[in-house]
Chain A
Amino acid sequence: MNRLTLAASALALGALPATAQEARDVLDTYANIAEAAYGDSHHTALALKAAIHELVTDPSQDKLEAARAAWISARVPYQQTEVFRFGNPIVDDWEGRVNSWPLDEGLIDYVDASYGGPTDENEAAVVNVIGHPSFSLSGQTVDASEISTDLLADVLHEAAGVEANVATGYHAIEFLLWGQDLNGHGPGAGNRPWTDFAVGDSCTGGNCDRRAAYLLAATGLLVDDLEWMAAQWAEGGAAREAVLADETAGLTAILTGMGSLSYGEQAGERMRLGLMLNDPEEEHDCFSDNTHNSHYYDGMGVRNVYLGEYVRTDGTLVSGPSLSDLVSAKDPALDAEMQAKLDTTMAALGAIRTAAEQGFAYDMMLERGNAQGEDLVMAGVDGLIDQTRSIERVVAALGLNGVSIEGSDSLDAPDAVFQ
């Protein structure tokens, strides 16, 4: 084949959508990253469970701190999975059990008087199930004498159809490990005493046995849920199969996840809103003050799936053919633009993280009139919004135009229209 023909065929190829094989390889990498990241989330949750078991068996300040450290470690791989949420219904339908936020924590345990009472939106905002073996919910009496996984997952979670009734997942566990952060915009996170888990007369906050039982049950559920999701992404699992079933839909799932997490969820709901409300509790990890890390690893997850790379918690690199390769083959300038935007966002999220590690916590950044905090947070918001514009251009460049993101009968099952 001479040079001219080669150039001509490359041109011809460039005008076509990605070949099925290329797209399939990219989707494989995507599913491999999901499997690894959910697998890591499962393993770090097991370590958290072990630390919590230690805490409730033999409570002490050291054991409480070890459990908190295990929780923070467990967040690192999990936050990098959030990019799989919005494009994959199997993840989105499940996610509420694992990472629901924000929560009306008074549902679970005692709270400070400043928390207030039931609201127009949530009659169960102050149920305090740890303190009450029996209580009334939507007109029914609930027997909570035994704190079981069924009680948490089936009765309390999203009770009365209110999303703020979060009884399971990372943030319920976070609340039990740290307690409310009562420092407002000042320094300091939640400061639950270890004696909230002590036995006998040393018990503070009352009902220490029920608190321990709640913590164990919630952690057990988290471990099981993560194990299940990791299996869905393994060879033959439902999530992997769904992504691989159709190249166009699979690529759309990747980009939908990147765009929806970047824009509406992270830039909007989790960052800009908190800044605009000046509310120190409007931060993703409000009890532990770990929000800077949660935002950072969310951003990293978006970049991971574009570059086709994920560094596992043991340091192993999972990588393969990527969306970046596909885009680069069609429009190298757009790929460079996308990568640069992702890097800009990571630098901005990194600056928030560095500042927080130096003692300028995320909730302090949200204070009314705090210009430095606003600048730091808004740089992250701007980066995320800006990268969403490039994600839209990638959608167009890959010829995914016209694919309904919501899905609909007439597109997904054209034959059904004629039946």
Chain B
Amino acid sequence: MRPALVALCVTLSTPVLAQDQAEVITDVVQNHVMPRYAALDEAAAKLDAAAQSDCHPESDDLRAAFNEAFDTWIGVSHLRFGPSETDDRAYALAFWPDPRGDTPSALRSLIAAEDPVVVSQKGYAEVSIAARGFYPLEFLLYDEEFATLAPESYRCALVQAIARDIAANAAAIYADWTGDYATLLQSPGENAAYRSAADVIQEFYDALGAGLEFTSDSRLARPMGSFDDPKPARAEARRSGRSLRHVQLSLAALSDLSARLAPSGSVAQDLEAAFEQAERLAAGLGDPIFAGVATPEGRFRVEALKTSVDRISALVNEELGPALGVAAGFNAADGD
């Protein structure tokens, strides 16, 4: 029995061929990365327009535009390389988790000082990332304290400055992708950043792994806290009721990437089944902001969802990595 098993493993782990790698790269770039960043760019521009025409926190148009743009961000939030990292753009779109409460404190300082930095887009790009992007905007639109902080005129200017900054960042990322980054990924070996197709595959593979890890560790484990001390207040974007939605959107995006990366056969089937399981648990959870973690029953259900996400990570490490001929790389979430 043993020799047969070993032989089977060797067959399964034969890395994909170079020509297949090139096809995978083209598919991921053109059908995963580009349409998603295009969607973010478009939705962010609409958010900016909505904020400039009506900055009131309870404006239906503004809230709808905010939610739509935030959705598109979650759809690319795992793609943390290249254009998203230039000039700290992704950090400035999405500073979270925020264990020290930097976002509310940065917003309070700006409002208390009525800091004139909000008047120029260039100026606002220098402000602490804790006061830039979707998460502080969520505070200004949905938090009871912030939605009423005086003076209203300054709060309005701040909402508009953040929306404008989000749109500028989203546009800059997409411009870089259409400019030359898509080409760069599709012509490895001709540039220093990616020396071979394997380097590019490693980048996508790392993005998939990092995305799964972030959803498990930050989106799910943080609010779970410990059994005796659950931390529902740590749920992501709970003020706008988006916590579970983010898990679902990220799973959908990661599932799409995984399907494009995995060579057909048992690896692809295993991954697809594992994603379906996680997506089914998420859809049936019925707890949009993970408030249930405070009860044993609710916690058990969130934990089951987390376990199903970790199961996908394990498959990515143990099956997809060897199939692609890459090892788990390092990502920005390593460390503590």
Name A's B-contacting residues (CB within 8 A): 86, 102, 116, 119-121, 138, 160-161, 163-164, 259-266, 268-269, 272-273, 276-279, 368-369, 388, 391-392, 395-396, 400-406, 408, 410-411
CA distance A273 to B129 in the complex (A): 9
Interface residues of B in 85-126 (CB under 8 A from A): 88, 91-92, 95, 99-102, 105-106, 126
CA distance A136 to B234 in the complex (A): 22
CA distance A279 to B225 in the complex (A): 27
Pair B325/A86 contact, Cβ less than 8 Å: no
B226 — nearest CB in chain A belongs to which residue? A161
Pair A369/B126 contact, Cβ less than 8 Å: yes
Taking a contact as CB atoms closer than 8 A, the residue among B101, B102, B128 that contacts A368 in the complex is: B128
Interface centre among B95, B105, B321, B329 (most CB of A within 10 A): B329
Pair A264/B127 contact, Cβ less than 8 Å: no
Q: Which B residues touch A261, using CB under 8 A?
A: 335
Pair B332/A263 contact, Cβ less than 8 Å: yes
- B330 CB, min distance to chain A CBs, angstroms: 4
Pair B202/A279 contact, Cβ less than 8 Å: no
B26 at the interface (CB under 8 A from A): no
B218 at the interface (CB under 8 A from A): no
- Given A263-B332, A404-B328, list of 4 further CB < 8 A pairs? A161-B231, A269-B336, A401-B326, A405-B317
Taking a contact as CB atoms closer than 8 A, the residue among A119, A138, A278 that contacts B128 in the complex is: A278
A409 — nearest CB in chain B belongs to which residue? B314
CA distance A400 to B321 in the complex (A): 12
Q: Which A residues touch B106, using CB under 8 A?
A: 277
Taking a contact as CB atoms closer than 8 A, the residue among A102, A161, A396 that contacts B327 in the complex is: A396
Pair B229/A138 contact, Cβ less than 8 Å: yes
CA distance A403 to B329 in the complex (A): 11
Pair A400/B327 contact, Cβ less than 8 Å: yes
Interface centre among A266, A276, A400 (most CB of B within 10 A): A276
Q: Which B residues touch A277, using CB under 8 A?
A: 102, 106, 128-130
Taking a contact as CB atoms closer than 8 A, the residue among B105, B226, B317 that contacts A404 in the complex is: B317
Pair A401/B321 contact, Cβ less than 8 Å: yes
Pair B330/A161 contact, Cβ less than 8 Å: no
CA distance A259 to B327 in the complex (A): 13
- A118 CB, min distance to chain B CBs, angstroms: 10
Pair B317/A408 contact, Cβ less than 8 Å: yes
CA distance A263 to B329 in the complex (A): 11
Pair B128/A392 contact, Cβ less than 8 Å: no
B332 — nearest CB in chain A belongs to which residue? A268
CA distance A261 to B334 in the complex (A): 8
A-B contact pairs, 27 of them (CB 8 A): A102-B100, A116-B105, A120-B233, A121-B233, A161-B231, A163-B99, A164-B99, A259-B329, A261-B335, A262-B330, A264-B331, A272-B88, A272-B91, A276-B92, A279-B128, A368-B127, A391-B330, A392-B327, A392-B329, A400-B327, A402-B327, A404-B318, A405-B317, A405-B328, A406-B317, A408-B317, A411-B318
* 0/1 interface trace, chain B 297-336, chain A, CB 8 Å (1 if under): 0000000000000000110011001100111111111111
How many residue pairs at the A-B interface have CB separations less than 8 Å?
108
B187 at the interface (CB under 8 A from A): no
- A147 CB, min distance to chain B CBs, angstroms: 25
CA distance A202 to B204 in the complex (A): 63
B240 at the interface (CB under 8 A from A): no
- A261 CB, min distance to chain B CBs, angstroms: 7
- Knowing A120-B101, A392-B202, the reply to whether A260 touches B334 (Cβ < 8 A) is yes
* 0/1 interface trace, chain B 221-264, chain A, CB 8 Å (1 if under): 00001100101011000000000000000000000000000000
CA distance A260 to B225 in the complex (A): 24
CA distance A263 to B102 in the complex (A): 22
Interface residues of B in 191-229 (CB under 8 A from A): 198, 202, 225-226, 229
CA distance A336 to B103 in the complex (A): 43
A261 — nearest CB in chain B belongs to which residue? B335
Pair A265/B92 contact, Cβ less than 8 Å: no
Pair B329/A401 contact, Cβ less than 8 Å: no
Q: Which A residues touch B198, using CB under 8 A?
A: 396
Pair A121/B102 contact, Cβ less than 8 Å: no
Pair A164/B100 contact, Cβ less than 8 Å: yes
Taking a contact as CB atoms closer than 8 A, the residue among A161, A272, A369, A392 that contacts B225 in the complex is: A161
Q: Which A residues touch B67, using CB under 8 A?
A: none
CA distance A164 to B234 in the complex (A): 15
Pair A264/B317 contact, Cβ less than 8 Å: no
- B299 CB, min distance to chain A CBs, angstroms: 14
Q: Which A residues touch B326, using CB under 8 A?
A: 396, 401
B13 at the interface (CB under 8 A from A): yes
Q: Which A residues touch B226, using CB under 8 A?
A: 161
B328 — nearest CB in chain A belongs to which residue? A405
Pair A259/B334 contact, Cβ less than 8 Å: yes
Those 6 A-B pairs whose CB atoms lie nearest each other, nearest first: A265-B335, A264-B334, A264-B335, A260-B334, A259-B330, A276-B129
B130 — nearest CB in chain A belongs to which residue? A277
CA distance A116 to B108 in the complex (A): 12
CA distance A406 to B126 in the complex (A): 37
Q: Which A residues touch B325, using CB under 8 A?
A: 401
B325 — nearest CB in chain A belongs to which residue? A401
Q: Which A residues touch B99, using CB under 8 A?
A: 121, 163-164
Interface centre among B198, B202, B331, B335 (most CB of A within 10 A): B335
